[in-house]
Amino acid sequence: MLVVCSLCTPTARADGRCGLLQAKSTASVVTPCVFAVAVAVADDGGTPAATDAWIAQQVAEANRIFAPFGVGFVVTERSVLPAAHAHLRTRADRDALAAFVRPGVVNWFVVAELLDVDEAGVVRRGVHWHVGSQAGAPHFVVVSRIAGESVLAHELGHFFGNRAHEGGPDNVMSYHRDGSPPRFDDTQGARIQRTARRHLRGKTLALANDTKP
């Protein structure tokens, strides 16, 4: 098991609650809600699609960007994604990852190649993918090994309620960058908090200290 965390002290209270379940505003959130992440790294011809250092960098940057809104992430479980799934080129390729989805955690797949499924030949760095359109259908994030350090944060932004690519060049949900550290704006942060609360109250996601290795 690989554990990567920059918000581990403190994480959530021993009773499994966190600041978002007790606070009414961003400013009053003190104890972060640290969600459990299961990462599956593709085997690409006998070599992992990403190194431990790369994974740590992605998580650390996601934690930096989400921290102002009382949300964090820690990898509580790591597995090897079979080589047959290292290169995702079609919708069927993406859908096939549903077989590896773990309940109660944020599922993150790291692959060697991720192609756009609508524009032929276009390479993507990441995607928040839904398998089907029915309520409760599996959804997860996929990040390619060529991704920059904020791509996981961008896809987690989608996962936690921000569907649109919007904001200025310093916004993590925008495709444009001006060299400033990317961030969420307050409206996006409020969506993240609402989505996090919904997951916790519905018990669809667990806090890191509530999961078992």
- Tell me the domain boundaries of the chain: 19-210
Mean pLDDT computed over 146-152: 96
Share of the chain above pLDDT 90, in %: 74
Res 86 pLDDT > 70? yes
> Looking at per-residue confidence, does 209 or 13 come out higher?
209
pTM for this entry: 0.88
pLDDT of residue 20: 79
Mean pLDDT computed over 99-105: 97
Q: What is the pLDDT of residues 10-39, one digit of tens each?
A: 333 333 467 777 655 554 555 789 999 999
Measured CA to CA, the distance from residue 130 to residue 139 in angstroms comes to 4
Residue 133 makes CB contacts below 8 A (sequence gap 6+) with none
What is 19-210's CATH number, 3.40.390.10, 3.40.1360.10, 2.40.110.10, 1.10.1270.20? 3.40.390.10
Res 55 pLDDT > 90? yes
Measured CA to CA, the distance from residue 102 to residue 84 in angstroms comes to 19
User: Among 42-51, 96-105, 133-142, 192-201, whose mean pLDDT is lowest?
Assistant: 133-142
Alpha helix positions (H), 40-176: 52-66, 91-95, 151-159
pLDDT of residue 40: 98
Measuring CA to CA, how many Å separate 36 from each of 33, 119, 186?
10, 33, 24
> Looking at per-residue confidence, does 19 or 48 come out higher?
48
> Looking at per-residue confidence, does 94 or 5 come out higher?
94
Measured CA to CA, the distance from residue 132 to residue 146 in angstroms comes to 27
pLDDT of residue 11: 37
3-state DSSP helix/strand/coil percent for the chain, to nearest 5? Answer: 30, 25, 45
pLDDT of residue 193: 95
Res 137 pLDDT > 90? no
pLDDT of residue 176: 83
Structure tokens at 143: 């990040």
